Amino acid sequence: MSTVIATRGLAKQYGRVHAVDGIDLDVRAGDVYGFLGANGSGKTTTVRMLLGLVLPTRGEIDLLGERMPRAGRRVLPRVGALIESPAAYGHLSGRENLALLDAAGPGGGRRDRRRRITEVLDQVGLGGVGRRPVKAYSLGMRQRLGLAGALLRRPELLVLDEPTNGLDPQGISEIRELLLDLHRGGTTVFLSSHLLAEVEQLCSRVGVLDRGRLVLQDDLAALTAPTGATVVRTPEPGQVRAVLDGRVAAVDGERVVVRGGDPAEVNALLVRAGVPVTGLAADRPTLEEVVLAAAATSADRVERER
């Protein structure tokens, strides 16, 4: 599988502040890659370096197989991007803003511009308001317009920084479905976000940035794979402990974690002993638990290095 984004030792320093500290990204063709981190962790700085908007202090960047920013004129027409709050001329309509964006950018095609603008406005749910002045748009509508701009050239790679900012739950769901649709059509998506739940529903691979360092990078399925334990939900956790002596790893209210065994075997033992069971599942960590554990490990390492 070809690599779409690769960085080696990528770093950005402002004075004594290490905004990004030697990260090695590996984004492959066909990924929906979730780039996670708290606000201020260095996500936006990284995205800006990937697109040649900020020069790195050190390190290398390959985008679609070519070195950036040197190959920017060839590469960027194949990339759609939405970074932070999208800029627009308020007195112009959404359609007029997209026409200016397409004309100003590398690789714009005047011949089919009108059709492409209509298509992307419909895609992001702005087909009915494309002629309204942008100054009358809500924050969510502006965000949709920014996404429409990123889709104008039918990009091979879509780089998005907090694309659901300002959207209501329905809007977030619609954008999620749009991105999955684009992915099914062959677009690789690099999504920078601090919304764990959204990334967990959308992404196939994740990287976690903490204080400028990449502390985790793997397939989501591997990170949230079953642990080999069973989660039992019961109003009688004490009875579970008595029946499965030595196998209970943790008790949290009515939630009991049992080491080893498959859920069916655990259930059979408990039912045979007359223990009421209201729920049963293989134990697997949530993405939030994985991210918090990686951040804690990173914090310990930073403390030791001081």
**pLDDT attached to residue 262:** 83
Domain count, the chain: 2
Q: Which domain holds residue 111?
A: 3-223
Confirm if 284 and 227 have CB atoms less than 8 A apart: yes
Residue 288 lies in a domain: no
Task: Assess if residue 123 is contained within a domain.
Answer: yes
Q: What pLDDT shows up at residue 301?
A: 66
- DSSP bridge pairs for 219: 205
Which pTM was predicted?
0.85
Question: Is the domain of 263 the same as that of 149?
Answer: no
Domain assignment of residue 66, yes or no: yes
- Whether 158 and 246 share a structural domain: no
SS (H, E, C) the chain: CCEEEEEEEEEEEECCEEEEEEECCEEECCCEEEEECCCCCCHHHHHHHHCCCCCCCEEEEEECCEEECCCHHHHHHHEEEECCCCCCCCCCEHHHHHHHHHHHCCCCCCCCHHHHHHHHHHHCCCCCCCCCEHHHCCHHHHHHHHHHHHHCCCCCEEEEECCCCCCCHHHHHHHHHHHHHHHHCCCEEEEEECCHHHHHHHCCEEEEEECCEEEEEEEHHHHCCCCCCEEEECCCHHHHHHHCCCCEEEEECCEEEECCCCHHHHHHHHHHCCCCCCEEEECCCCHHHHHHHHHHHHHHHHHHHC
Q: Residue 302: inside a domain, yes or no?
A: no
Asked if 16 and 155 sit in the same domain, the reply is yes
We report the CATH number of the domain holding residue 174 as 3.40.50.300
pLDDT along the chain (306 residues), means of 10: 92 94 96 92 94 95 95 92 83 92 70 88 87 88 89 92 84 87 92 89 94 95 92 94 91 92 88 94 90 80 60
* Claim to verify: residue 162 and residue 200 sit in the same structural domain: yes
- Residue 299's pLDDT is 65
Residues 202 and 252 in one domain: no
